[in-house]
Amino acid sequence: MAISSIFIFMSVLCFSSVVHNVASVDYGTALTKSLLFYEAQRSGKLPSNQRVQWRGNSGLKDGQDVRVDLVGGYYDAGDNLKLGFPMAFTITMLSWSAIEFRDKLSKKNELQNALSAIKWGTDYLMKAHPEADILYGEVGDPDSDHECWQRPEDMTTPRNAYRIDDQHPAFNSVDPKYASKMLTHAIQLFEFARNYQGLYQNSIMPAGKVYASSGYKDELAWAAAWLHRATKIKKYLDYLEGSGDTGGTKNIFSWDDKYVGAQILVAKLVLDGKVGSSGIWAQYKAEAEQFICSCVQKSSQNVEKTAGGLLWFLPWGNIQYVSTASFAMSVYSQYLSAKHASLTCSGGDVTPSDLISHVRSQVEYILGSNPKNMSYMVGYGSNYPKQVHHRAASIVSMKKDPTPVTCKGGYDTWYNKNEADPNVLEGAVVGPDKNDEYQDIRSNYQQAEPTTVSVAPLVGVLAYLA
């Protein structure tokens, strides 16, 4: 699979002064567990080499209502929804991790697992794009899904498929043939998105209840940057230059706001001398660097930090933004190192090694070097969250007890059970509040629900540090 081609297809759619007692960090083990998490999130018919054995086949009729095969893909979080918007970001970040840190993944014998995690997503996303101007962006309904607490294998909730089309617009190294197929989908989707611009939830209204998009210009910039990287075709650079929208200085990098990612990709073009170093290209680069400067506390508007040293962006699922910021710092440190360069911030110069020190502090916080001495990666170490907000993990495996779990029965028997999850959701990442506190209880969905978008950037970061 030519990893760079994966990106474009998907695209369309700080240092702590507090020292805590914690065992030495094993980045390699954390890396392994982060990739296991994606096997636990799989939907569809599981492969014979599935390592997470407590999961079973699920969603085998997805797409039947629209006569399209939509079996496969990933459940986005602790529910049983398949949502194309965050799934595309997840696969893109996994792919970017594999591109930038391929050798390190290979050295840790995790490259094939990373590629398998990517392909599980890309196989599904290509199914979801059956025609040039049709893209299925959701399977399942948020309201009915959230009313039930069931294993994916037991789902009795509606599995309606929702799509974007021209009437409802929104927005080669391992396997060259597969890569070419993805590139074809990517080019078609970029043109579709350019020709029919709009917010995807205007077509897929249920998605707006869980992953509403605040805009689509960032996706177009993100897609153009990746299409140029994969094809070297000038028209994608022309789009980036002529759009008149570089995104501005951002304070977050996420599934909803991808400008930082696009800015970093353009900054690499500037550093490599492939575009000019003035005008709009300099603007892209400056904005990417301003975001990184704010993360390393060298800006006039620094990202806030908790007393324990964790970057603090937003109350809901803050760890996902820590993950993307850490990835941004990691990859930019590589770009700078390759040019023997440093980052000039308003608060002083920052070397590549400085960036990695900040990244290391964030990852070590997640893995246990924090005021609670708790690993926020499930299954890592001995003190980690035992009651994550996750249907499959919290209900006994059907392989141990095949008795069907009913919609409301799951709440009575499992959700409200004040005991550790029967299945350890290895590699899932959750996080504390602004005061470095964490309540390990299943109903604490604001902190305790793991998501695919949170772990994907950490795959690359962990590979870099391992």
Amino acid at 20: H
- Cβ atoms within 10 Å, residue 445: 17
Residues in contact with 286: Cβ distance below 8 Å, sequence separation at least 6, in sequence order: none
3 state DSSP class of 205 = helix
Instruction: Evaluate whether 56 touches 399 at the Cβ level (below 8 Å).
Output: yes
3 state DSSP class of 170 = strand
Q: What is the CB-side half-sphere exposure of residue 435 using CA atoms within 13 A?
A: 3
Q: Can you say whether residue 62 is alpha, beta or left, with left for phi > 0 and alpha for psi between -120 and 50 degrees?
A: beta
Instruction: Evaluate whether 464 touches 104 at the Cβ level (below 8 Å).
Output: yes
User: How far apart are the C-alpha atoms of 334 and 339, rounded to whole Å?
Assistant: 9
The H-or-E segment that residue 225 falls in is helix 217-231
Q: Which of 356, 352, 354, 353 is nearest to 336 (CA)?
A: 352
Residue with tokens 């496969």: 72
Please give the span between the terminal C-alpha atoms of the chain, in angstroms, as a whole number.
Answer: 24
The H-or-E segment that residue 345 falls in is strand 343-345
User: How far apart are the C-alpha atoms of 150 and 153, rounded to whole Å?
Assistant: 8
3 state DSSP class of 163 = strand
Residues catalogued as catalytic: 79, 389, 440, 449
